Amino acid sequence: MKLALRGLRVACHGFEACYDLALQGQATALYGPSGSGKTTLLEAVAGLRPSQGRITLDGAALQEPGHCLPAQARGIGYVPQDLALFPHLDVRANLRYGLRGRGGLGPGLDEVAKALGLAGLLGARVTRLSGGEQRRVALARALLAGPKLLLLDEPTANLDPALKAQVAELLKGLSQRFKVPFILVSHDAREIAGLCGQVARLEQGRCVALGRPKKVLELDRPASPARAKAKPLALKGWLDAMC
Amino acid sequence: MLGAETIRVLWFTVASALLGVALATLPALALAWLLARREWPGKALIETVVALPMVIPPVATGLLLLKLLGRRGPLGALAYQALGMDLAFNWKAVPLAMAAMALPLMVRGFRVALEGVNPRLEQVARTLGASERRVLLTITLPLAGPGLLAALVLGLARSLGEFGATVILAGNIPGQTTTLSLALYRAVELGHDDEALFFLCVSLALAFGALWLSGRLARRLGPGGAS
């Protein structure tokens, strides 16, 4: 997967975010403090937030001047932090929602439900499920729509460490099994390092560092003589190298 | 007490109120959706204009409607020329007046119901490939359902009790435009106390029933926006 954002401008928390970066790989992450524009970036890529600029996914334009695919036609799955399960539908109906219009491609409901341990919950109301079960339903629902890319907004937020590790393992397994790349937002450097091959660090609606987690996440460590010597990331050079 | 004329008045009132609410539903829903979900120039102005019938005297609203829908009014003249139809001082004026008076209440109720639906649910539905129509039919309307229904019932209650706008636009023509409220007024005016008391009790029962139902439906609105 290669997602390229070129001069993508989006209104964000009272300022204008401007993204110029290319993410590639099966698992990538957005990292940064609250309000740095991580969710805004996901929403713009998913087509849920008005933006200007160019977005391409594997070379195909999702958005460019004079042409903008609606969210329905982008083929991008989105799991927001609040999961947004449809409260008036049971688990099965939630999972089936994205099946229509997929043209019979991709994994089937039973296969995904089994992979996520939801086979016994299909008739349950989503409001009656535990937090972990709801999370799995949201993931399964997004997977069943057959996305080319999955956007996950803080998929392990507010989970205890054991459950967090389980969800991370699940993500890794699902991505490999169903061959769906994902971009996740996370505040957890360790989680990113364990899951993702590339991370973009955002601040104030700008990408200030992009690269392998080990390198980018070092920026968060307390200042050390080695870090003091490190030069700020030459973003333009990175972008050129990525394209 | 339940003579043929009384039954006719009751039937006519209920039928006109239902027709008035039916007439107001689509414009009210469209306005509520625009007010709840879109930012556009002049929004505050339209919001105020739509709410006006709730605060100006109903008789003033009736007069405005008469100026618009009377045979010499812009819309009334158009209807007369195109369809040969008079919109004032006949039975048709009654549901029209009721629709005009119910509309602001319905817009307000619909808007609250639509705002109660978490927009994130609609966004996620779109990312799952749902068209705008499918999002509306499978997410927005079912979740806003109880609130929308409550607003409809409230509009119906308002229509059933309508007096001021109706008397100006439709007049009080026995056998043609007399509604429950107009019959009550006439009974009081003529000193027919028993008849007035009967119409009063019917009005109270209808209003109580509608408000009670509306309240029950509105209380069910809570889970609508939850995810």
Question: B76-85 pLDDT, tens per residue?
Answer: 999 999 999 9
| Mean pLDDT of all residues in B100-124 | 96
Structure confidence by residue, pLDDT tens digits, B163-185? 999 999 999 999 899 999 999 99
Sign of CA dihedral B160, B161, B164, B170: positive
HSE on the CB side for B60, CA within 13 Å?
6
Q: With residue A20 as reference, give the H or E element that holds it.
A: strand A15-24
Q: With residue A52 as reference, give the H or E element that holds it.
A: strand A51-57
Residue A170 predicted with pLDDT over 90: no
Structure confidence by residue, pLDDT tens digits, A38-80? 999 999 999 999 999 999 999 999 999 989 999 999 999 999 9
B133 in A contact zone (CB under 8 Å):
no
pLDDT band at A235 (very low <50, low <70, confident <90, very high): very low
B222 in A contact zone (CB under 8 Å):
no
Please report the DSSP string for A82-106 in residue order: T----TTSBHHHHHHTTTTTSTT-S
Of A169 and B89, the one with more pLDDT: B89
A80 contacts on B by Cβ (under 8 Å): 120, 123-124
Instruction: Single out the residue of A12, A48, A46 nearest to residue A32, CA to CA.
Output: A12
The pLDDT > 90 percentage for chain B reads 84
pLDDT of residue A239: 39
A77, A87, A141 ranked by CB distance to B227: nearest: A87
Interface test with A, best of B37, B120, B123, B124 (most A CBs within 10 A): B124
pLDDT of residue A165: 84
Residue A7 predicted with pLDDT over 90: yes
| Mean pLDDT of all residues in A23-47 | 94
A71, A78, A84 ranked by CB distance to B118: nearest: A84
HSE on the CB side for B218, CA within 13 Å?
17
Are B126 and A85 inside 8 Å of each other by CB?
Answer: no
Sign of CA dihedral A93, A98, A103, A104: negative
Question: Tokens 């698992």, residue?
Answer: A27
Q: Nearest-CA residue of chain A relative to B133?
A: A72
Taking a C-beta distance cutoff of 8 angstroms, is the pair A125, A90 a contact?
Answer: yes
The pLDDT > 90 percentage for chain A reads 62
C-alpha span between A199 and A196 (Å, rounded): 7
Structure confidence by residue, pLDDT tens digits, B20-36? 999 999 999 999 999 99
pLDDT of residue A142: 94
B128 contacts on A by Cβ (under 8 Å): 77, 97-98, 141-142, 145
pLDDT of residue A106: 66
| Mean pLDDT of all residues in A179-186 | 93
Q: Nearest-CA residue of chain B relative to A127?
A: B227
Are B124 and A127 inside 8 Å of each other by CB?
Answer: no
The order of strands in the sheet holding A182-185 is A76-79, A149-153, A182-185, A27-31, A198-203, A206-211
pLDDT of residue B2: 67
Residue A164 is which amino acid? Answer: K
Sign of CA dihedral A74, A78, A80, A84: positive
C-alpha pair distances (Å), A230 with each of A17, A196, A235, A236, A239: 26, 23, 14, 17, 19
Instruction: Determine the distance in angstroms separating the CA of B167 from the nearest CA of chain A, rounded to an integer.
Output: 44
The order of strands in the sheet holding A51-57 is A15-24, A2-12, A51-57, A60-64, A67-68
Which two structure tokens, joined as six digits, stand for B163? 């007096």
Report the SS3 class of residue B216.
helix
Residue A97 predicted with pLDDT over 60: yes
C-alpha span between B91 and B178 (Å, rounded): 9
Q: Nearest-CA residue of chain A relative to B226?
A: A87
Residue B91 predicted with pLDDT over 90: yes
Instruction: Determine the distance in angstroms separating the CA of B30 from the nearest CA of chain A, rounded to an integer.
Output: 22
C-alpha pair distances (Å), A58 with each of A47, A172, A177, B140: 16, 21, 20, 33
Least-confidence region, from A31-35, A222-226, B97-101, B109-113: A222-226
pLDDT of residue B225: 39
pLDDT of residue A163: 80
Q: DSSP secondary-structure letter at B1? A: -
Q: Tell me the three-class secondary structure of B17-49, residue by residue.
A: HHHHHHHHHHHHHHHHHHHHHCCCCCHHHHHHH
pLDDT of residue A169: 86
Domains of chain B are 4-54+91-219 (1.10.3720.10)
pLDDT of residue A221: 60
Which two structure tokens, joined as six digits, stand for A8? 């993508």
HSE on the CB side for B115, CA within 13 Å?
12
Instruction: Single out the residue of B144, B121, B138 nearest to residue A48, CA to CA.
Output: B121
ipTM confidence: 0.85
The whole-chain average pLDDT of chain B stands at 92
C-alpha span between A25 and A71 (Å, rounded): 22
Structure confidence by residue, pLDDT tens digits, A188-216? 888 899 899 999 999 999 999 999 998 88
Structure confidence by residue, pLDDT tens digits, B35-60? 998 999 999 999 999 999 999 999 99
pLDDT of residue A232: 43
Between chain A and chain B, the number of residue pairs with CB atoms below 8 A apart is 66
